[in-house]
Amino acid sequence: MHHTEIGDNPLALPRIHPAPLKRKPHWPVRDLIVIGIFAAVVKIASLGIALIGGGMNPLTLLAKNAVFTSLLVVLLHKVPRFGTLTLFIGVSAIVSLLLMGNAAILLPVSLASALLSELIIMIAGGYSRTTGILLGVAVYDLASKGISLGLSWLIMREQPALLLTISAMVGFGYLGALAGLGSGHLFVKELRHAGIVRQ
């Protein structure tokens, strides 16, 4: 508040001129905060499941993927706009890069997969349709896993037997991701009932 004008009437309330603000940004702070919070929840949930399950074994692999896709489905219903998935993946990768440094190789792969799945969501009817979101998340998980396996093949091409094991584990994990789509859909229903997700 910068200027006040009292005029002739001393009892009149001062007229307030608010400070000039910049034009409204494309991404509201509210949405950015939700994305940040979900990135934290996904990170801690994955870590917690890995610690409770004692590393990456079949059960934790299923649970981790299921929780990840469930949370992704909830996030895309809460912030239904183009770019949410890409931003979520980008932010998670940047924080991982700063703290652990191991996300550098997978960052471009994840971003490409996120963009691809966002395009699929748009083709499937946009973010207003649950089917499109579920399809997009399924494609994202498949694409990111597929491209990561492609990169792994580049590294392990001398010993394809090792890639076979990894592919089997990734495929098994994808079953968990598909199960997570169903639980994510149920979550969204509950959240709609509670008035937290309005879409």
Partner 1 sequence: MQASFASDSTMPKSFPTTLDVRTKLFLCVLCSLSAIILTSPLALSPLLAASALYALSTKNIKKVLTAYTVVLLMLSVSAVFIVLLDMIWPELAQMEFRLFLTPFLRIGLMLNVVLGLALTSRIQSLLMALKSLRLPSLIYIPASVMIRFIPTFFNDAKQVLQALKIRGYPLTLRTTLLRPLHSLRVLFAPLVFRALRSSDDLAMAAELKGIGLTGSIVPHRRQTLRPRDMMVLALALGLAAVSFFIQARCGGFSIGMH
Residues that bind partner 1 (CB under 8 A): 21-22, 25, 27-30, 32-41, 43-45, 50-57, 59, 63, 67, 70-71, 74, 78, 87-88, 90-92, 94-95, 97-102, 104-105, 152, 155-156, 158-159, 161-162, 164-165, 187, 190-191, 194, 196-197
- Nearest distance, CB of residue 41 and partner 1, angstroms: 5
Q: In 3-state terms, the chain is what percent helix, strand and coil (to 5)?
A: 70, 5, 25
Comparison of 124 and 147: residue with beta carbon closer to partner 1: 147
- Nearest distance, CB of residue 37 and partner 1, angstroms: 5
Comparison of 142 and 153: residue with beta carbon closer to partner 1: 153
d(CA 182, CA 199): 18
d(CA 125, CA 162): 40
Comparison of 92 and 144: residue with beta carbon closer to partner 1: 92
Comparison of 87 and 134: residue with beta carbon closer to partner 1: 87
d(CA 121, CA 144): 16
Q: Which residues contact 20 (CB under 8 A, 6 or more apart)?
A: none
Residues, the chain, total? Answer: 199
- Nearest distance, CB of residue 193 and partner 1, angstroms: 11
According to DSSP, the β-strands at 15-17 and 3-5 are antiparallel
